[in-house]
Amino acid sequence: MHSSEANNVKFSLTKFRAGYELAEVDDFLDSLHNALAQWESGRPGTILAAGVVHQRFAVTKFRNGYDQDHVDDFLVKAAATLQAYEKGSKPGY
């Protein structure tokens, strides 16, 4: 995963079923983008794979939220990328 993916990802929205709070996910994606950009430039990022794995978001219901499965799948990919950087290898984009 490249840092640009954290800025450009579009998740499906939910309304009448549980979803993740939009603002919380968006804020985390901004932080993730910055951390990935740091790793890409050769500096350790401010977010590690474990931080992504343990990230939790507030859940919404009856108002717009991000589809939980889509967000979770994206976070798995982000954690794998960060784990590769932490081990000193280049992740496959």
| Structural domain range at position 8 | 3-86
Residue range 18-51, pLDDT digits in tens:
999 999 999 999 999 999 999 999 999 999 999 9
Return the amino acid letter for 37: A
Residue 26: name the closest of 48, 50, 49, 57 by CA.
Answer: 57
Whether residue 92 is predicted with pLDDT greater than 80 in this model: the reply is no
What is the percentage of the chain residues whose pLDDT exceeds 70? 99
Q: Is residue 65 part of a domain?
A: yes
Q: Report yes or no: 46 and 8 within 8 Å, Cβ to Cβ.
A: no
Q: What pTM did the predictor assign?
A: 0.91
Residue 19: name the closest of 69, 54, 56 by CA.
Answer: 69
Q: pLDDT at position 16, please?
A: 87
Query: For the chain, what is the domain count?
Result: 1
Q: What's the token pair of residue 56?
A: 């939790």
User: Please, which pLDDT band fits residue 93 given cuts at 50, 70 and 90?
Assistant: low
Mean pLDDT of 70-84: 96
User: Please, which pLDDT band fits residue 15 given cuts at 50, 70 and 90?
Assistant: confident
